[in-house]
Structure 1
Amino acid sequence: MNTATVSGPAPDAAGDAMGPDPVHVPVLVVGGSLSGLSAAVLLAHQGVGCLVVERRSGIGSHPRSRVLTARSGEVFRSVGLEPAIDAVSRRPSGWFEARTLADPTYTRLDPSGDPTLLISPAGSRLCDQNRLEPILLADARSGGAKVLYGCELTSFEQDPHGVTARILDRSTGRSRTVRCSYLLAADGTRSPVRDSLGIGLRGRRGEPRFLSTVFAADLDPALRGRRPTAVVFPGREVLFARGTSRAPLWEYGIPDSPFPAGACDDEVGRFVRERLRRVTGLPGLEPDVRSVLRWGASAVVAERFGEGRVFLLGDAAHTMPVVGGLGGNSGIQDAHNLAWKLAAVLHGNAGRELLDTYDIERNRVADHTLWHVLATVRGLPEALPPETLQLGYLYPDPAGGPDAGPCEDPYRPTGRPGSRAPHLWLGHDGGRMSVLDLFGTGFTLLAGPLGQRWLPAGARAAAGLGLPLAVYRIGGPDSALRDPCGTFPTRYGIGPAGAVLVRPDGYVARRWETAPHTRTALEHAVRTALEQPAALSPEPASNAP
């Protein structure tokens, strides 16, 4: 048995916010910020019930994370949240350098436009975290998840059959017992759950030296119609565009705060206003300061992302510098990777060994991403482009094929097992759709234009497995899905009669360059992806990619 105390002893009185004591739920999520709410949304869409407990009284007012990468956009597009996110976000317009915001000309620091729109149906967005979280909260609750604010995990113990947790209602001082099959710790960079499990960190914690201020002000006299994503000033001071075009806000950040923790609010406010007048070039500016935050740029990865029935995600698993916004987005991808695996196990479609692949896959991605983020900060030539870190990371081949390394160029996708299924636009029903829009909560088989024999093979495999398996033919005679440029086979590395098996999270599990057309081949591939060996005859070697 694994027993851990997360904070002080919980009161003995029982609260009533969660119903009868003990509460039984498949998954308990500790932490209701970006990663925890993403996990709740994705679990709900997989038909898995969960309870989220968050010690804060509600969603924070400080916008915090700002960049929503193309891969995160694809994740939320897959569960129907793209329109709601579009309404509270904007597209990046570019980073610039200037002496003051009122300078007549700016120097551009990055390429114009969003290059990820060439390889993703979603593209990148600027979406403040305090605007995104209400969307996730509403969707999670509509899907059946229960999210409680002002509630804190105080202790937990796990045994071979589940986890028993004590939850404190901070408003009443009462506590309840929650019994769950699995516990997800999304409780931040100083994760009490991670510390209780004795899981160490690789890297360095940052001291809270950065000062960030969110404010409202009319900056049009300095901008004169310009709409930059961010402007960098001498001394590495940065002004970020926040909010939306209809409700603009700004964030000002400096790398070296002169104030210790607990500094007087009035003193900090006077300092911030003086700095804002200088960097904007508007000496009469009277900004409406909404919030001030001090934080540190940590660069750490947990030694392992779980133990037994407890898993770490988001900042509890890895904390990264803010460059590129990859820290919060990595937490979204953690949740995406873990949600379908938990669903497969809880629904009886896979053994618990499938959950071991979460650490195998996501820990390597975190290490690789952090290294290149730090290389970018230091200006090293080895630093990879942000699009590669967003869309090009690779998982090991689930069938045990040669390791292709941690990433590939997403502009030249291979379709190899372990890679993100490449995006391309398809003609459908008089319009167009991304091939990524075909992926649902189960496995998907994509056949080439001459792969019509895969359709009955897929139906037989689904019946034999007792699992949903969607099968589509891309292009070819009488196909409802047209491939106008004929690029599907090339982008996925197959022949016209070949096929690709895609996991529920949009990653390639298996591919066949030609067609074995056998139920056994498909069943073997799905079971391998689920880490669930079955008493099947070995797949013929000639079917290997």
Structure 2
Amino acid sequence: MTDSGPAPHAAGETGTGPLHVPVLIVGGSLSGLSAAVLLARHGVDCLVVERRSGIGSHPRSRVLTARSGEVFRSLGLEPAIDSVSRRPSGWFGADTLADAEYTRLGPAGDPTLRISPAGSRLCDQNRLEPILLADARRRGARVLYGRELTDLVQDAHGVTARILDRSTGRSRTVRCEYLLAADGTRSPVREALGIALNGRRGEPRFLSAVFAADLDSVLRGRRPTAVVFQGSQVLFARGTPGEPLWEYGIPDSPFVGGAGDEELGRFARDRIRRVTGLPGLEPDVRSVLRWGASAVVAERFRAGRVLLLGDAAHTMPVIGGLGGNTGIQDAQNLAWKLAAVLHGAAGGQLLDTYDVERRRVAAHTLWHVLATARGLPEALHPETLQLGYLYPDPGGGPDAGPGEDPYSPTGRPGSRAPHLWLGREGGRVSVLDLFGPGFTLLVGPLGQRWLSAGARSAAAFGIPLTAHRIGGPGSTLRDPHGTFPAHYGIGPAGAVLVRPDGYVARRWFSARDTGTAPDTGTALDDAVATALGLRAPLAAVPVRSPV
């Protein structure tokens, strides 16, 4: 898929004069497009420039974690993603794909469906990116392919960038208030800023080949997520149910030196025949790629008015598929904060919390991914890395560590607001579906007095804030088992303030409305001000370096 030209909103982008835009995103892959969609949702005009001519054909990342699924569910993209993805069925071991029996290597199905309304999916990146591109443009974001950043200079008020049109050789100046670097592992923006990396970069040591083939005769109705052969070779299910593809992967030991495309293709076809158990198979090999497993985190994610996200900020091994997902969640964390700053509800210091929160998550995630690969006992469970990671308490409470068990959520400040099914006319709704682009105030069945406090805070700070009372007489949201207050640790007359990215900012416990609890208006105003960085800036918390 190549760039089809500017979106309707992009009038004037083909001119030669300076172009002004609030946010310039350098890099139009998974993280950059996610940022564009999320910023546009918050009403922020942005321009994405991508040096490639279009979306790549190689599937690249494949796992869409439950947390990323929740992000895209909140954007209304779940049906579109469902049409090009499949649910995980499990990993298996075998000598060849033709074996009569496979050995299960992990849990069946998707365990995250117990704790998430979205769950995880297998969705090739080259299938997901067109959905994000279309949605970004539909919301008014501008995305241009074949454009390359060649220079940038920042000052106290913004960034001046030079953008080269690779098809014409002409350059244009773009002036923006903030620049987001989503330009990949070797990020020219990061290198121009002199931001160092902690960890180790990988040289090409792995080989993967994407191919189409009719394997029904050996699968015999089985639909594995992946099959492992002789401990190192893997066959992954790719594509969509309507257009199945496969990916063969192996450590790249036969090709320590250089190798041409023809040699790589011959090698891939021979190995595909071996692992499938089909010596006469003629696979349609679509692409062969050599790559290295880097494990690095940038020493800082912010340099003035330039912010790093995705692979420009951190690169992870493929284990667990957390690299691309971490970039999606970078974009989610950053988008609402940039919107608050650009809309005048917060000062630029709020963006410091992006560095503190996301660099901590990236470092902890990378450490535990490597610990898992090395079999270290302290490695966190995969679902904890997906859904249980913790930010420092925005209110300054004690550090709770890198993560908590998402199967036993606490609702503590700094944690992902836990999923819970609620009853509503016509069916059920996840509490996560109540969260919009603004702040959300959830109150217990006896917490009516918090509702008026929410309206006052929204007006005072000039921010969107929606309040919902869950359970109790007259509420449209039913709590069938009466578990909401305990799930969030607030009590029947308590309340919890949730940030626009779905993380708990503050909570107040109250067992009953006795009139002796703290003044709701003052308490809520303080929580909103702190969440917006207007009071008590978030303290830096040490992060664990990659092993």
The alpha carbon displacement at 1:45 in A equals 0.3
Instruction: State the partner residue of 1:81.
Output: 77
Q: Is contact 2:148-2:164 (8 Å) kept? A: yes
Tell me which residue corresponds to 1:520.
522
1:176 alignment partner, one of 150, 172, 175: 172
CA distance in 2 between counterparts of 1:368 and 1:91 reads: 27
Give the partner amino acid of 1:27: V
CA distance in 1, matches of 2:258, 2:232: 24
Q: Contact between 1:119 and 1:410, CA under 8 Å: does it hold in 2?
A: yes
Any conservation in 2 of the 1:211–1:257 contact (CA below 8 Å)? no
Q: SS of 2:259's equivalent?
A: coil
Q: Does 1:322 align with 2:318?
A: yes
Quote how far apart the aligned CAs of 1:257 are: 4.4
Partner letter of residue 63 of structure 1? Answer: P
SS at match of 1:168: strand
- Of 332, 336, 342, the residue aligned with 1:336 is 332
Would you say 1:151 and 2:150 are equivalent positions? no
CA distance in 2 between counterparts of 1:123 and 1:253 reads 26
SS for the counterpart of 2:254 is coil
Deviations 1:58-100 (A, max 9, x none): 0000000000000000000111101100110000000000011
Question: Residue 486 of structure 1 aligns with which residue?
Answer: 482
The C-alpha deviation readout for 1:444-469, integer Å capped at 9, x for no partner, is 10000111111112112222222221
Partner of 1:264: 260
Partner residue in 1 for 2:422? 426
Mapping of 1:9-408 within 5 angstroms?
Answer: 17-19=13-15, 21-259=17-255, 263-408=259-404
What is the percentage of aligned positions where both structures have the same residue? 82
Separation of aligned partners in 2, 1:513 and 1:454: 12
Q: 1:263, CA displacement in angstroms?
A: 2.2
Distance in 1 between the 2:531 and 2:102 partners?
51
Q: Secondary structure at the match of 1:211?
A: strand
Q: C-alpha distance in 1, partners of 2:15/2:437?
A: 30
Sort the Cα spacing of 1:194 and 1:244 in 2 relative to 1 into closer, same or farther, 3 A: same
- After TM superposition, the runs of 4+ consecutive aligned structure 1 residues lying more than 3 A away are 16-20
Report what 1:543 is aligned to.
none
**1:212-246 alpha-carbon deviations (Å, 9 max, x no partner):** 10000001111111000000001500000001111
Shift of 1:270: 1.2
Deviation at 1:22, TM superposition (A): 0.5
Distance in 2, Cα, partners of 1:102 & 1:68? 28
Contact 1:66-1:128 within 8 A present in 2 as well? yes
State the Cα distance separating 1:147 from its structure 2 match.
0.4
Aligned pair count?
519
SS of the counterpart of 2:526? helix
Q: Quick one: distance in 2 between partners of 1:238 and 1:177? A: 47
Structure 2 distance, partners of 1:326, 1:49, is 29
Could you say if the C-alpha distance between residues 144 and 247 of structure 1 is closer, same or farther in structure 2, counting changes exceeding 3 Å?
same
Normalising by structure 2, we get a TM-score of 0.93
Q: TM-score with structure 1 length normalisation?
A: 0.94
Letter in 1 for 2:525: E
Instruction: Show structure 1 runs of 5+ residues with no match.
Output: 1-15, 535-545
* Cα distance, 1:369 vs structure 2: 0.4
Q: Aligned AA for 1:115?
A: P
Deviation at 1:259, TM superposition (A): 2.7
Q: Per-residue deviation at 1:264?
A: 2.1
Amino acid aligned to 1:165? A
Amino acid at match of 2:121: R
Aligned residue in 2 for 1:13? none
Q: Whole-Å Cα distance in 2 between the matches of residues 23 and 273 of structure 1? A: 49
Q: Structure 2: which amino acid aligns with 1:225?
A: G
Please tell me the residue identity of whatever aligns with 1:454. W
2:500 matched to which residue of 1? 504
Mapped contact 1:453–1:517 kept (Cα < 8 A) = no
Do the aligned partners of 1:57 and 1:149 also contact (CA within 8 Å) in 2?
Answer: yes
User: Residue 151 of structure 1 contacts residue 170 of structure 1 at CA under 8 Å; is this kept in 2?
Assistant: yes
Extract unaligned runs of 5+ from structure 2.
1-11, 511-516, 537-547
2:190 aligns to what SS in structure 1?
helix
Shift of 1:430: 2.4
Question: What CA deviation, in whole Å up to 9, does each residue of 1:390-421 have, x standing for no partner?
Answer: 00000011111111111111111111110000
Query: Counterpart of 1:414?
Result: 410
Q: 2:454 and 2:69 mapped to 1: Cα distance?
A: 29
Shift of 1:262: 5.4
* 8 A Cα contact 1:341 1:355, kept in partner: yes
Cα-to-partner distance string for 1:9-67 (whole Å, 9 max, x where unaligned):
xxxxxxx8543520000000000000000000100000001000000000000000000
- 1:502 and 1:508 in contact (8 A); partners too: yes
> Structure 1's 433 and 517: CA in aligned 2 closer, same or farther, altered over 3 A?
farther
Contact 1:398 1:509 in 2 (8 A): yes
Say whether the 8 Å CA contact 2:338–2:351 is kept in structure 1: yes
| Paired residue secondary structure (1:258) | helix
Q: Secondary structure at the match of 2:203?
A: coil
CA distance in 1, matches of 2:241, 2:357: 38
Distance 1:533 1:66 in 2: 41
CA distance in structure 2 between the partners assigned to 1:291 and 1:361 by the alignment: 37
Q: What SS does the aligned partner of 2:48 have?
A: strand
* 1:301 aligned partner, one-letter code: V
